[in-house]
Amino acid sequence: MTGQCGERNDCDILMNDGKKITQPEKIVNLLNDYFTEVAEQLITKRYTHHINNNLGKPNVSLYIAKTNEKEIHGIINNLKANGINGIKPKLIKDMTNEITPVLKEYLDVALKINNKIIQQVDSSKYLELVIDYKLKFREHIIHIKIKSMLSVTFSEKTLNTLIQRPNITYNT
């Protein structure tokens, strides 16, 4: 593989097996494949004496427990900066007792609805996670980081709604 680069090292053309590649996406994919192959060869060459393929890894599932009001209070009390909507953390902290039950119920329902298992597989290069292709990218983030949803701030309209109806029930 050889490349033709401009003044700032921006490669416009890549020669691969005598063919000129000019599409940036194809250039990136070829370089990615090349460096992945080089890395795998180095790992295989240098670390074969450390690899023990006889050891089986257990099939483990990721389990996310339901949240509780103490955890929600802790996260709200650690808010430092304004949210995207400009609401100050002091306002949210002052309303902790009103919004905590609603947040807890919402998160528990979201967890119940989106309760899918992320399975562990025998492959260290993919962080031992199998992607369920039926789920959207956003749903994977919810599964992995559902508790980080508590750091989301609310618009004033949402906060007013929560104050007026603190005991909302959800039908699932």
Whose CA is closest to 121, among 165, 68, 56, 73?
56
Residue 56 inside a domain? The answer is no
Residue 58 lies in a domain: no
77 and 157 belong to one structural domain: yes
Residue 45 and residue 120 in one domain: no
Do 45 and 79 have their domain in common? no
- Residues 73, 132 share a domain: yes
Lowest mean pLDDT among 9-23, 79-93, 95-109, 116-130: 116-130
Tell me the percentage of the chain whose pLDDT exceeds 70: 48
Q: What is the mean pLDDT of residues 117-132?
A: 42
121, pLDDT greater than 50: no
Residue 8: pLDDT above 80?
Answer: no
* Residue 139 included in any domain: yes
Q: How many domains does the chain have?
A: 2
* Residue 61 pLDDT level (bands cut at 50, 70, 90): low
pLDDT tens-place string over residues 24-58: 888 888 888 888 888 888 777 776 555 555 555 55
pLDDT confidence of 70, banded at 50, 70, 90?
very high
Please write the tens of the pLDDT for every residue from 82-92: 878 788 889 98
Instruction: Find the domain containing 18 and state its range.
Output: 2-50
